[in-house]
Amino acid sequence: MTPATYSAREQLRDGRPVHIRALKPDDEAGMLAAIDHTNAESLRRRFFVTKRNFSANEKTFFLNVDFVRHVALVAVVEDEGRLTIIGGCRYIVTEPGEAEVAFVVIDAYQGQGIGTMLTSHLAGLAREAGLKQLAADVLPDNTAMRKVLGKCGFQTGRSVDPQVVHLTLALTSTAGTASGA
Ligand SMILES: CC(C)(COP(=O)(O)OP(=O)(O)OC[C@H]1O[C@@H](n2cnc3c(N)ncnc32)[C@H](O)[C@@H]1OP(=O)(O)O)[C@@H](O)C(=O)NCCC(=O)NCCS
């Protein structure tokens, strides 16, 4: 399995199955629907502004993922008989060996462990790709994200921007390896 065909089965805390898979170019409608089901505060935490509309260039950027410098996963559940994207994450390589991560989970599914499983799968892919470090810039009041990243081994580092908390995960150990199937 390559990062572009990544696929793993997981369970939500309430036992429902969830599919963690690579983002596909035809996921645009599902991604936009997910944004519609994400509250303004969550969007501010993800984009640092309350962003709901995306330009054609932004959509291209978010959907045309090369799975080398830019890797994106989505979490999909069956909701009322329809496959629905309920969350996603990505890393973007910012310098050799290092990538920046970002996450979003739609309102109705937050607190079900999806953020944690996305982080674990993304970190596993980054490790297998040979990256040395993942980094995240998080707003200080974003307790949920800080908790998820902390659980996954990220540590608070020095931030150049006083408005954000900079967290990093060293990928040299074997913990948290991706286990897609
Ligand atoms: C951050 C985010 C991705 C986490 O996703 P999630 O699926 O809810 O994460 P999980 O369920 O794995 O874990 C969230 C944890 O934070 C906890 N939490 C949530 N809100 C909290 C709060 N206000 N105070 C304390 N803990 C909180 C949950 O209880 C859970 O902890 P637990 O595992 O001990 O029960 C999701 O909240 C989100 O999309 N937020 C908006 C976008 C965002 O902030 N992106 C990050 C920018 S990089």
Q: State the pLDDT confidence band at 176, using cuts at 50, 70 and 90.
A: very low
Instruction: Give the Cα separation of 137 and 168 in Å (integer).
Output: 9
C-alpha distance across the termini of the chain, in Å: 8
What superfamily would CATH give domain 3-170? Answer: Gcn5-related N-acetyltransferase (GNAT) (3.40.630.30)
12 pLDDT more than 80: yes
pTM of the model: 0.93
Pocket lining: 59 vs ligand 1, CB cutoff 6 Å: no
Alpha carbon distance 162, 166 (integer Å):
9
Ligand 1 mean position to 90 CA, how many Å?
16
CB of 106 closer than 6 angstroms to any ligand 1 atom: no
Q: Is 89 left (phi over 0), alpha (psi -120 to 50) or beta?
A: beta
In this predicted model, what pLDDT tens digit does every residue of 101-123 receive, in sequence order?
999 999 999 999 999 999 999 99
**CA 162 / ligand 1 centre spacing (Å):** 22
Q: Is the pLDDT assigned to residue 172 strictly greater than 90?
A: no
Q: Convert the pLDDT of each residue in 30-82 to its tens digit.
A: 999 999 999 999 999 999 878 888 889 999 999 999 999 999 999 999 999 99
Instruction: Report the share of the chain in percent with pLDDT over 70.
Output: 95
Mutate to test the pocket of ligand 1, among 90, 116, 119, 166 (most ligand atoms within 8 A of CB): 116
Question: Are 107 and 143 spatial neighbours (Cβ–Cβ below 8 Å)?
Answer: no
Gap between the Cα atoms of 116 and 145, Å rounded: 9
* Percent of the chain that is helix, strand, coil (3-state, to 5): 30, 30, 35
Amino acid at 48: F
